[in-house]
Amino acid sequence: MKAKCLVAALAAFCIWTSPGQALAATVVLDAGHGGTDPGAIGVNGLQEKTVNLDISQKVRDRLIQRGYEVRMSRDTDIYVSLSDRVAYAKAQQADIFVSIHANSYSNPATRGAMVLYYDDAYPQSSYPASEEMKALTPQSRELAQFVLDGFLGKAGGTDRGLVPSAVYVVRMGNIPSILVETAFLSNAQDAALLADESARVAMAEGIVDGIEAYLSAADTGFSDIRTHWAREAILRLKERGLVVGASGGRFEPARALTRAEWVTLLNRVFDLDPAGKACKAVEGSVSGAVYADCDPGAAEGQIGTGVDASRIPGFAGISGAPSAGQGKAGDLERKQSPEAAAGSELGAAAFRDVPSKHWAYAQLDQAVKSGLLEGYPDGTLRPNQTVSRAEVALLFQRLAQMPLASTGTSPFGDMPADHWAAQAVAALKNSGLINGTSPGRFTPDRSITRAEAATLLDRYVSSYSR
Protein backbone atom coordinates (compact mmCIF):
# COMPACT_ATOMS: atom_id res chain seq x y z
CA MET A 1 0.00 0.00 0.00
CA LYS A 2 1.29 3.46 -0.86
CA ALA A 3 2.41 5.29 2.27
CA LYS A 4 4.17 8.66 2.39
CA CYS A 5 5.27 8.31 5.99
CA LEU A 6 5.89 5.22 8.05
CA VAL A 7 5.47 7.22 11.25
CA ALA A 8 1.95 8.19 10.20
CA ALA A 9 1.14 4.56 9.54
CA LEU A 10 2.44 3.63 12.97
CA ALA A 11 0.24 6.27 14.58
CA ALA A 12 -2.82 5.38 12.66
CA PHE A 13 -10.54 -2.14 15.25
CA CYS A 14 -21.94 -9.95 17.22
CA ILE A 15 -24.63 -14.09 18.59
CA TRP A 16 -25.43 -18.15 21.09
CA THR A 17 -28.58 -19.18 19.59
CA SER A 18 -28.27 -17.64 16.20
CA PRO A 19 -28.23 -19.90 13.13
CA GLY A 20 -25.35 -22.37 13.09
CA GLN A 21 -22.15 -21.64 11.25
CA ALA A 22 -21.02 -23.54 8.21
CA LEU A 23 -18.71 -26.46 8.83
CA ALA A 24 -15.85 -24.63 7.08
CA ALA A 25 -14.83 -21.15 8.09
CA THR A 26 -15.23 -18.46 5.44
CA VAL A 27 -12.40 -16.06 4.66
CA VAL A 28 -12.74 -12.87 2.63
CA LEU A 29 -9.52 -11.99 0.81
CA ASP A 30 -9.12 -8.42 -0.37
CA ALA A 31 -6.43 -7.78 -3.00
CA GLY A 32 -5.60 -4.11 -2.52
CA HIS A 33 -5.96 -1.50 -5.29
CA GLY A 34 -6.71 -2.62 -8.87
CA GLY A 35 -7.91 -1.28 -12.20
CA THR A 36 -7.29 2.45 -12.47
CA ASP A 37 -5.63 2.43 -9.05
CA PRO A 38 -2.20 0.80 -9.38
CA GLY A 39 -1.17 1.39 -5.79
CA ALA A 40 2.53 1.88 -5.11
CA ILE A 41 5.02 1.62 -7.94
CA GLY A 42 8.18 -0.32 -7.12
CA VAL A 43 11.72 0.83 -7.73
CA ASN A 44 11.76 -1.98 -10.31
CA GLY A 45 8.55 -0.74 -11.97
CA LEU A 46 6.36 -3.41 -10.39
CA GLN A 47 2.78 -2.25 -9.71
CA GLU A 48 1.38 -3.00 -6.28
CA LYS A 49 -2.03 -4.03 -7.65
CA THR A 50 -0.39 -6.87 -9.60
CA VAL A 51 1.53 -8.16 -6.57
CA ASN A 52 -1.54 -7.96 -4.34
CA LEU A 53 -3.76 -9.92 -6.70
CA ASP A 54 -1.17 -12.62 -7.36
CA ILE A 55 -0.46 -13.25 -3.67
CA SER A 56 -4.20 -13.14 -2.85
CA GLN A 57 -4.92 -15.76 -5.50
CA LYS A 58 -2.17 -17.97 -4.12
CA VAL A 59 -3.61 -17.58 -0.62
CA ARG A 60 -7.09 -18.41 -1.95
CA ASP A 61 -5.96 -21.59 -3.69
CA ARG A 62 -4.15 -22.88 -0.62
CA LEU A 63 -6.99 -22.08 1.75
CA ILE A 64 -9.40 -23.96 -0.50
CA GLN A 65 -7.01 -26.92 -0.53
CA ARG A 66 -7.14 -26.91 3.27
CA GLY A 67 -10.94 -26.98 3.28
CA TYR A 68 -11.86 -23.34 3.85
CA GLU A 69 -14.45 -21.26 2.02
CA VAL A 70 -12.91 -18.24 0.31
CA ARG A 71 -14.46 -15.10 -1.14
CA MET A 72 -12.45 -12.43 -2.98
CA SER A 73 -13.38 -8.76 -3.22
CA ARG A 74 -11.70 -8.76 -6.64
CA ASP A 75 -10.33 -11.64 -8.69
CA THR A 76 -9.32 -9.62 -11.75
CA ASP A 77 -7.67 -6.28 -12.46
CA ILE A 78 -10.64 -4.07 -11.66
CA TYR A 79 -11.18 -1.06 -9.42
CA VAL A 80 -13.24 -1.65 -6.25
CA SER A 81 -13.90 1.20 -3.84
CA LEU A 82 -13.04 0.83 -0.18
CA SER A 83 -16.69 1.02 0.87
CA ASP A 84 -17.62 -1.65 -1.69
CA ARG A 85 -14.91 -3.94 -0.35
CA VAL A 86 -16.30 -3.67 3.18
CA ALA A 87 -19.89 -4.05 1.96
CA TYR A 88 -18.91 -7.16 0.03
CA ALA A 89 -17.25 -8.66 3.10
CA LYS A 90 -20.34 -8.01 5.22
CA ALA A 91 -22.58 -9.66 2.64
CA GLN A 92 -20.54 -12.88 2.76
CA GLN A 93 -21.26 -13.50 6.46
CA ALA A 94 -17.63 -14.55 6.71
CA ASP A 95 -15.45 -15.27 9.71
CA ILE A 96 -12.45 -13.05 8.95
CA PHE A 97 -11.31 -10.38 6.48
CA VAL A 98 -7.71 -10.25 5.22
CA SER A 99 -6.57 -7.44 2.94
CA ILE A 100 -3.23 -7.98 1.14
CA HIS A 101 -0.98 -5.08 0.12
CA ALA A 102 2.62 -4.10 -0.54
CA ASN A 103 4.15 -1.07 1.16
CA SER A 104 6.04 2.03 0.13
CA TYR A 105 7.98 4.64 2.10
CA SER A 106 10.06 7.73 1.45
CA ASN A 107 13.19 6.15 3.00
CA PRO A 108 14.38 3.51 0.50
CA ALA A 109 16.25 1.65 3.24
CA THR A 110 13.03 0.74 5.03
CA ARG A 111 11.94 -2.84 4.44
CA GLY A 112 10.02 -5.68 6.09
CA ALA A 113 6.51 -6.92 6.82
CA MET A 114 3.82 -5.52 9.10
CA VAL A 115 0.15 -6.18 9.77
CA LEU A 116 -2.38 -3.41 10.37
CA TYR A 117 -5.54 -3.77 12.48
CA TYR A 118 -7.97 -1.41 14.18
CA ASP A 119 -7.32 -0.90 17.90
CA ASP A 120 -9.91 0.93 19.97
CA ALA A 121 -7.18 1.97 22.39
CA TYR A 122 -5.89 4.29 19.65
CA PRO A 123 -9.00 5.92 18.17
CA GLN A 124 -8.77 8.70 15.62
CA SER A 125 -11.59 11.21 15.79
CA SER A 126 -11.29 12.02 12.08
CA TYR A 127 -11.62 8.35 11.16
CA PRO A 128 -14.24 6.78 13.43
CA ALA A 129 -14.60 3.01 13.40
CA SER A 130 -17.76 0.93 13.34
CA GLU A 131 -19.02 -0.21 16.73
CA GLU A 132 -18.40 -3.81 15.71
CA MET A 133 -14.73 -3.17 14.95
CA LYS A 134 -14.26 -1.34 18.23
CA ALA A 135 -15.51 -4.41 20.06
CA LEU A 136 -13.46 -6.72 17.85
CA THR A 137 -10.11 -5.16 18.75
CA PRO A 138 -8.88 -8.26 20.65
CA GLN A 139 -9.85 -10.63 17.84
CA SER A 140 -8.35 -8.45 15.11
CA ARG A 141 -5.14 -8.08 17.09
CA GLU A 142 -4.93 -11.82 17.63
CA LEU A 143 -5.56 -12.51 13.94
CA ALA A 144 -2.89 -9.97 13.03
CA GLN A 145 -0.35 -11.63 15.31
CA PHE A 146 -1.07 -15.12 13.99
CA VAL A 147 -0.71 -13.96 10.39
CA LEU A 148 2.47 -11.98 11.03
CA ASP A 149 4.00 -14.96 12.82
CA GLY A 150 3.02 -17.28 9.96
CA PHE A 151 4.31 -14.86 7.35
CA LEU A 152 7.71 -14.42 8.98
CA GLY A 153 7.95 -18.14 9.61
CA LYS A 154 7.63 -18.94 5.90
CA ALA A 155 8.90 -15.84 4.09
CA GLY A 156 11.36 -14.44 6.61
CA GLY A 157 12.30 -10.78 6.44
CA THR A 158 12.28 -7.87 8.84
CA ASP A 159 9.56 -7.93 11.49
CA ARG A 160 7.93 -4.51 11.66
CA GLY A 161 5.25 -5.72 14.02
CA LEU A 162 1.57 -5.02 14.49
CA VAL A 163 0.34 -1.53 13.65
CA PRO A 164 -2.86 -0.06 15.09
CA SER A 165 -4.40 1.71 12.12
CA ALA A 166 -7.50 3.55 10.97
CA VAL A 167 -7.37 2.46 7.33
CA TYR A 168 -10.91 2.07 6.06
CA VAL A 169 -11.09 -1.67 5.45
CA VAL A 170 -9.96 -2.62 8.97
CA ARG A 171 -12.08 -0.08 10.85
CA MET A 172 -15.47 -0.24 9.11
CA GLY A 173 -16.30 -3.96 8.96
CA ASN A 174 -18.04 -6.31 11.34
CA ILE A 175 -15.65 -9.28 11.56
CA PRO A 176 -12.01 -9.60 12.68
CA SER A 177 -10.09 -7.68 10.01
CA ILE A 178 -6.45 -7.10 9.15
CA LEU A 179 -4.33 -5.60 6.38
CA VAL A 180 -1.07 -7.37 5.55
CA GLU A 181 1.83 -5.26 4.24
CA THR A 182 4.02 -7.94 2.69
CA ALA A 183 7.12 -5.88 1.84
CA PHE A 184 8.29 -2.44 0.63
CA LEU A 185 8.23 -1.78 -3.10
CA SER A 186 10.30 1.32 -2.32
CA ASN A 187 13.17 -0.89 -1.13
CA ALA A 188 15.28 -2.59 -3.80
CA GLN A 189 15.68 -5.88 -1.92
CA ASP A 190 12.00 -6.13 -0.97
CA ALA A 191 10.92 -5.15 -4.50
CA ALA A 192 13.07 -7.95 -5.89
CA LEU A 193 11.39 -10.43 -3.54
CA LEU A 194 7.95 -9.24 -4.60
CA ALA A 195 8.94 -9.83 -8.22
CA ASP A 196 10.11 -13.37 -7.46
CA GLU A 197 7.59 -16.20 -7.87
CA SER A 198 9.07 -18.41 -5.14
CA ALA A 199 9.09 -15.51 -2.67
CA ARG A 200 5.43 -14.75 -3.40
CA VAL A 201 4.58 -18.42 -2.82
CA ALA A 202 6.35 -18.32 0.54
CA MET A 203 4.49 -15.14 1.50
CA ALA A 204 1.15 -16.69 0.53
CA GLU A 205 1.88 -19.88 2.45
CA GLY A 206 2.85 -17.87 5.52
CA ILE A 207 -0.40 -15.90 5.40
CA VAL A 208 -2.34 -19.15 5.03
CA ASP A 209 -0.51 -20.66 8.01
CA GLY A 210 -1.43 -17.65 10.12
CA ILE A 211 -5.06 -17.70 9.06
CA GLU A 212 -5.35 -21.40 9.80
CA ALA A 213 -3.67 -20.99 13.20
CA TYR A 214 -6.16 -18.29 14.14
CA LEU A 215 -9.19 -20.23 12.93
CA SER A 216 -7.97 -23.42 14.60
CA ALA A 217 -7.66 -21.56 17.89
CA ALA A 218 -11.17 -20.19 17.40
CA ASP A 219 -12.47 -23.71 16.80
CA THR A 220 -11.53 -24.69 20.34
CA GLY A 221 -13.96 -22.13 21.69
CA PHE A 222 -15.05 -18.60 20.83
CA SER A 223 -12.57 -15.95 19.83
CA ASP A 224 -14.02 -13.26 22.11
CA ILE A 225 -14.02 -15.20 25.41
CA ARG A 226 -10.42 -16.32 25.70
CA THR A 227 -9.79 -14.06 28.68
CA HIS A 228 -13.42 -13.65 29.77
CA TRP A 229 -14.44 -14.50 33.34
CA ALA A 230 -17.20 -16.85 32.09
CA ARG A 231 -15.01 -18.68 29.56
CA GLU A 232 -14.97 -22.09 31.26
CA ALA A 233 -18.73 -22.10 31.83
CA ILE A 234 -19.41 -21.14 28.22
CA LEU A 235 -17.05 -23.81 26.90
CA ARG A 236 -18.68 -26.50 29.04
CA LEU A 237 -22.08 -25.56 27.64
CA LYS A 238 -20.61 -25.60 24.13
CA GLU A 239 -19.27 -29.13 24.71
CA ARG A 240 -22.76 -30.20 25.81
CA GLY A 241 -24.22 -28.72 22.64
CA LEU A 242 -26.27 -26.18 24.60
CA VAL A 243 -24.82 -22.99 23.09
CA VAL A 244 -23.44 -22.05 19.69
CA GLY A 245 -21.67 -18.94 18.55
CA ALA A 246 -22.49 -15.87 16.55
CA SER A 247 -20.84 -15.00 13.24
CA GLY A 248 -17.09 -14.65 13.11
CA GLY A 249 -16.47 -17.33 15.75
CA ARG A 250 -17.69 -15.06 18.54
CA PHE A 251 -19.96 -15.62 21.53
CA GLU A 252 -20.75 -11.97 22.36
CA PRO A 253 -20.72 -12.54 26.14
CA ALA A 254 -21.60 -8.95 27.06
CA ARG A 255 -24.65 -8.73 24.80
CA ALA A 256 -28.05 -8.73 26.47
CA LEU A 257 -30.00 -12.00 26.22
CA THR A 258 -33.25 -11.88 24.23
CA ARG A 259 -36.54 -13.64 24.90
CA ALA A 260 -36.06 -15.85 21.84
CA GLU A 261 -32.59 -16.87 22.98
CA TRP A 262 -33.78 -17.61 26.51
CA VAL A 263 -36.66 -19.79 25.30
CA THR A 264 -34.28 -21.68 23.02
CA LEU A 265 -31.81 -22.28 25.83
CA LEU A 266 -34.49 -23.49 28.21
CA ASN A 267 -35.69 -25.94 25.57
CA ARG A 268 -32.17 -27.27 25.22
CA VAL A 269 -31.52 -27.59 28.95
CA PHE A 270 -34.87 -28.95 30.11
CA ASP A 271 -36.10 -30.86 27.06
CA LEU A 272 -39.44 -29.15 27.42
CA ASP A 273 -42.49 -31.16 26.46
CA PRO A 274 -44.80 -29.02 24.32
CA ALA A 275 -47.85 -30.84 25.61
CA GLY A 276 -49.20 -31.00 29.10
CA LYS A 277 -46.37 -29.61 31.21
CA ALA A 278 -47.05 -25.89 31.14
CA CYS A 279 -48.99 -24.07 33.81
CA LYS A 280 -51.90 -22.09 32.51
CA ALA A 281 -51.95 -18.39 33.21
CA VAL A 282 -54.31 -17.14 35.89
CA GLU A 283 -57.43 -15.66 34.33
CA GLY A 284 -57.16 -11.90 33.98
CA SER A 285 -53.36 -11.89 34.07
CA VAL A 286 -50.97 -12.29 31.19
CA SER A 287 -48.57 -14.17 33.41
CA GLY A 288 -50.23 -14.95 36.69
CA ALA A 289 -49.09 -18.58 36.76
CA VAL A 290 -45.47 -17.53 36.91
CA TYR A 291 -45.90 -15.26 39.87
CA ALA A 292 -48.00 -17.71 41.87
CA ASP A 293 -47.07 -21.22 42.98
CA CYS A 294 -47.65 -23.26 39.84
CA ASP A 295 -48.11 -27.01 40.04
CA PRO A 296 -48.74 -28.72 36.69
CA GLY A 297 -50.33 -31.57 38.57
CA ALA A 298 -53.06 -29.39 40.02
CA ALA A 299 -56.50 -29.35 38.46
CA GLU A 300 -56.96 -27.01 35.54
CA GLY A 301 -57.60 -23.46 36.66
CA GLN A 302 -56.14 -24.04 40.13
CA ILE A 303 -52.81 -22.95 41.52
CA GLY A 304 -50.95 -25.63 43.44
CA THR A 305 -48.18 -25.35 46.02
CA GLY A 306 -46.53 -28.76 45.82
CA VAL A 307 -43.21 -29.45 44.10
CA ASP A 308 -42.83 -32.74 42.30
CA ALA A 309 -39.07 -33.20 41.87
CA SER A 310 -39.59 -36.02 39.38
CA ARG A 311 -41.12 -33.70 36.81
CA ILE A 312 -40.17 -30.40 35.22
CA PRO A 313 -43.08 -28.02 34.96
CA GLY A 314 -43.34 -25.38 32.31
CA PHE A 315 -43.81 -21.71 32.87
CA ALA A 316 -45.90 -18.97 31.35
CA GLY A 317 -45.40 -15.31 30.81
CA ILE A 318 -41.86 -14.27 30.09
CA SER A 319 -43.65 -11.09 29.14
CA GLY A 320 -45.35 -10.70 32.48
CA ALA A 321 -42.57 -9.32 34.66
CA PRO A 322 -43.09 -5.70 35.61
CA SER A 323 -40.99 -3.06 33.99
CA ALA A 324 -38.71 -0.80 35.99
CA GLY A 325 -40.72 0.90 38.70
CA GLN A 326 -43.20 -1.97 39.04
CA GLY A 327 -41.51 -3.66 41.93
CA LYS A 328 -44.25 -5.65 43.64
CA ALA A 329 -46.34 -8.64 42.72
CA GLY A 330 -49.48 -6.57 43.13
CA ASP A 331 -48.51 -4.58 40.07
CA LEU A 332 -48.72 -7.56 37.76
CA GLU A 333 -52.39 -7.81 36.89
CA ARG A 334 -53.10 -7.00 33.24
CA LYS A 335 -55.85 -7.70 30.77
CA GLN A 336 -55.02 -10.42 28.31
CA SER A 337 -55.50 -9.51 24.66
CA PRO A 338 -57.53 -11.72 22.31
CA GLU A 339 -54.33 -12.30 20.34
CA ALA A 340 -52.49 -13.59 23.41
CA ALA A 341 -55.43 -15.77 24.41
CA ALA A 342 -55.47 -17.33 20.96
CA GLY A 343 -51.71 -17.87 21.02
CA SER A 344 -51.83 -21.24 22.75
CA GLU A 345 -53.76 -22.64 19.79
CA LEU A 346 -52.16 -20.70 16.92
CA GLY A 347 -48.65 -20.69 18.33
CA ALA A 348 -46.15 -18.11 17.16
CA ALA A 349 -48.32 -17.41 14.11
CA ALA A 350 -50.71 -15.52 16.39
CA PHE A 351 -48.20 -12.71 16.81
CA ARG A 352 -47.53 -10.12 14.15
CA ASP A 353 -43.87 -9.63 15.09
CA VAL A 354 -42.80 -13.27 14.66
CA PRO A 355 -42.29 -13.97 10.96
CA SER A 356 -42.03 -17.58 9.90
CA LYS A 357 -38.43 -16.94 8.87
CA HIS A 358 -37.37 -15.88 12.38
CA TRP A 359 -34.37 -18.02 13.37
CA ALA A 360 -36.12 -19.20 16.56
CA TYR A 361 -39.61 -19.58 15.09
CA ALA A 362 -39.87 -23.31 15.89
CA GLN A 363 -38.81 -22.82 19.50
CA LEU A 364 -41.09 -19.82 19.96
CA ASP A 365 -43.99 -21.69 18.37
CA GLN A 366 -43.50 -24.63 20.73
CA ALA A 367 -43.17 -22.35 23.75
CA VAL A 368 -46.40 -20.53 22.93
CA LYS A 369 -48.38 -23.68 22.19
CA SER A 370 -47.23 -25.30 25.42
CA GLY A 371 -48.16 -22.23 27.45
CA LEU A 372 -44.57 -21.50 28.35
CA LEU A 373 -44.56 -18.14 26.63
CA GLU A 374 -47.30 -15.59 26.18
CA GLY A 375 -47.59 -12.36 24.29
CA TYR A 376 -48.31 -8.77 25.17
CA PRO A 377 -51.76 -7.14 25.08
CA ASP A 378 -50.89 -5.43 21.80
CA GLY A 379 -50.62 -8.78 20.02
CA THR A 380 -46.83 -8.94 19.95
CA LEU A 381 -44.45 -11.56 21.31
CA ARG A 382 -41.34 -9.36 21.19
CA PRO A 383 -38.84 -12.17 20.63
CA ASN A 384 -35.93 -9.77 20.28
CA GLN A 385 -36.66 -7.90 23.49
CA THR A 386 -34.11 -8.44 26.24
CA VAL A 387 -34.83 -10.31 29.46
CA SER A 388 -34.08 -8.85 32.89
CA ARG A 389 -32.02 -10.58 35.57
CA ALA A 390 -35.09 -10.79 37.79
CA GLU A 391 -37.20 -12.40 35.04
CA VAL A 392 -34.52 -14.97 34.31
CA ALA A 393 -34.16 -15.82 38.00
CA LEU A 394 -37.88 -16.25 38.59
CA LEU A 395 -38.56 -18.24 35.44
CA PHE A 396 -35.55 -20.47 36.01
CA GLN A 397 -36.54 -21.12 39.62
CA ARG A 398 -40.01 -22.18 38.51
CA LEU A 399 -38.76 -24.40 35.72
CA ALA A 400 -36.02 -26.02 37.81
CA GLN A 401 -38.42 -26.51 40.73
CA MET A 402 -36.13 -24.88 43.26
CA PRO A 403 -38.07 -24.42 46.53
CA LEU A 404 -38.77 -20.74 47.18
CA ALA A 405 -36.84 -19.04 49.96
CA SER A 406 -38.80 -17.90 53.00
CA THR A 407 -40.51 -14.54 52.83
CA GLY A 408 -39.36 -11.50 54.73
CA THR A 409 -35.70 -11.47 53.77
CA SER A 410 -33.64 -10.70 50.68
CA PRO A 411 -29.94 -11.43 50.09
CA PHE A 412 -29.50 -8.20 48.13
CA GLY A 413 -29.94 -4.64 49.30
CA ASP A 414 -31.47 -3.46 46.02
CA MET A 415 -34.24 -6.09 46.15
CA PRO A 416 -36.74 -5.52 48.97
CA ALA A 417 -38.26 -8.64 50.48
CA ASP A 418 -41.62 -7.91 48.80
CA HIS A 419 -40.09 -7.60 45.31
CA TRP A 420 -41.95 -9.89 42.90
CA ALA A 421 -38.82 -11.98 42.26
CA ALA A 422 -37.13 -11.73 45.66
CA GLN A 423 -37.95 -15.28 46.82
CA ALA A 424 -36.83 -16.81 43.52
CA VAL A 425 -33.58 -14.85 43.51
CA ALA A 426 -32.93 -15.87 47.11
CA ALA A 427 -33.60 -19.52 46.23
CA LEU A 428 -31.09 -19.48 43.40
CA LYS A 429 -28.58 -17.56 45.52
CA ASN A 430 -28.92 -20.07 48.36
CA SER A 431 -28.42 -22.91 45.88
CA GLY A 432 -25.22 -21.34 44.57
CA LEU A 433 -26.67 -20.85 41.10
CA ILE A 434 -26.63 -17.07 40.87
CA ASN A 435 -24.63 -14.15 42.21
CA GLY A 436 -25.06 -10.42 42.45
CA THR A 437 -23.50 -7.84 40.16
CA SER A 438 -21.52 -6.38 43.07
CA PRO A 439 -21.46 -6.92 46.85
CA GLY A 440 -25.01 -6.61 48.15
CA ARG A 441 -26.54 -5.75 44.76
CA PHE A 442 -28.46 -7.88 42.27
CA THR A 443 -29.53 -5.15 39.82
CA PRO A 444 -32.82 -6.95 39.06
CA ASP A 445 -34.06 -4.66 36.27
CA ARG A 446 -30.87 -4.80 34.24
CA SER A 447 -30.92 -7.05 31.18
CA ILE A 448 -29.02 -10.26 31.79
CA THR A 449 -26.01 -10.82 29.59
CA ARG A 450 -25.31 -13.98 27.63
CA ALA A 451 -22.31 -14.67 29.86
CA GLU A 452 -24.40 -14.36 33.04
CA ALA A 453 -27.10 -16.64 31.66
CA ALA A 454 -24.48 -19.16 30.56
CA THR A 455 -23.01 -19.21 34.06
CA LEU A 456 -26.43 -19.88 35.59
CA LEU A 457 -27.11 -22.72 33.17
CA ASP A 458 -23.64 -24.20 33.62
CA ARG A 459 -23.96 -24.28 37.38
CA TYR A 460 -27.35 -25.93 37.09
CA VAL A 461 -26.40 -28.65 34.62
CA SER A 462 -23.17 -29.31 36.55
CA SER A 463 -24.98 -29.67 39.87
CA TYR A 464 -28.24 -31.25 38.72
CA SER A 465 -27.20 -33.24 35.62
CA ARG A 466 -29.84 -35.73 34.66
Q: What is the pLDDT of residues 328-353, one digit of tens each?
A: 333 333 334 444 455 567 888 999 99
Q: What is the pLDDT of residues 195-240, one digit of tens each?
A: 999 999 999 999 999 999 888 876 667 767 767 899 889 988 988 8
Greater pLDDT, 466 or 405: 405
Burial zone of 18 (CB within 10 Å; 0-12 exposed, 13-18 middle, 19+ buried): middle
Burial zone of 77 (CB within 10 Å; 0-12 exposed, 13-18 middle, 19+ buried): middle
Mean pLDDT of 239-259: 81
Q: What is the pLDDT of residues 262-319, one digit of tens each?
A: 988 988 888 665 544 433 332 322 222 222 333 333 333 222 222 222 222 223 433 3
Give pLDDT, residue 272: 63
Give pLDDT, residue 219: 66
Q: Is the pLDDT of residue 408 over 70?
A: yes
Give pLDDT, residue 343: 52
For the chain, percent helix, then strand, then coil, each to nearest 5?
40, 10, 50
Dump the DSSP string for 53-81: HHHHHHHHHHHHHTT-EEEES-SSS----
Greater pLDDT, 380 or 222: 380
> Cβ(107)–Cβ(122) under 8 Å?
no
Q: Is the pLDDT of residue 324 over 50?
A: no
Q: How many residues does the chain have?
A: 466
Tell me the whole-structure pTM to 2 decimals: 0.52
What's the rounded Cα separation, in Å, for the pair 322 and 390? 10
Give pLDDT, residue 286: 25
